[in-house]
Homo-oligomer: A and B are copies of this chain.
Amino acid sequence: MVRLSKLTDYASVILAQMARQPDVLWSAGQLSEDSSVPKPTCIKLLKLLVKGGVLNSTQGARGGYSLARPPSQIPVKTIIEAIEGPTAITECGTDETLCRLTDHCSVMSRWRELGDQVDHILTKTTLEDLISPHTLYARSDRRIETLEVH
């Protein structure tokens, strides 16, 4: 149901480190060393995060990576999607037979609504929250309030 892939786990640790010193230009080697993530894997993650708009990169000698935005403006949803790709709660459309069932599509719209609620949480929570020493629940501005109908 809700599971972080190992790579997202790694990425969040790497990003947490970067977020604590947002002005440093980090090299892949440095990040790999500090985070214990094997260098090839670390490099792969950094590339994905650049592609996903989470990081900026500077090429060449003395180059490296830095956060593209302040931690408070990086939703965890963005991080997850950068690593795992865009993910809907159901693909729907793969199985034509099922989709013709009366039940199927109505049940699926409920699932999709559930997915929206989860999305809402993941969008509201940011990298800043991840590195905070305080529980999410303690922050009134981060509590999940009644959802609005759009």
Measured CB to CB, the residues of A under 8 A from B are: 1-4, 6, 9-10, 12-13, 16-17, 35-37, 76-77, 80-81, 84, 87-90, 94-95, 97-98, 100-101, 103-104, 106-111, 113-115, 117-119, 121-122, 125, 129-133, 135-138, 143-149
Chain copies in the assembly?
2
Other-chain contact of A98, B36, B81, B132, B138 (Cβ < 8 Å): B36
Cβ-defined contact, A136 with B122, below 8 A: no
Which residues of the other chain, B, contact A81 by a CB distance below 8 angstroms? 1
| With known contacts A2-B118, A98-B10, A131–B107 Cβ distance under 8 A | yes
Cβ-defined contact, B3 with A88, below 8 A: yes
Which residues of the other chain, B, contact A13 by a CB distance below 8 angstroms? 98, 101, 103-104, 107
Other-chain contact of A2, B1, B104, B106, B136 (Cβ < 8 Å): B1
> Which residue on chain B has the smallest CB distance to residue A86?
B1
Which residues of the other chain, B, contact A9 by a CB distance below 8 angstroms? 90, 98, 108, 111
Which residues of the other chain, B, contact A76 by a CB distance below 8 angstroms? 114
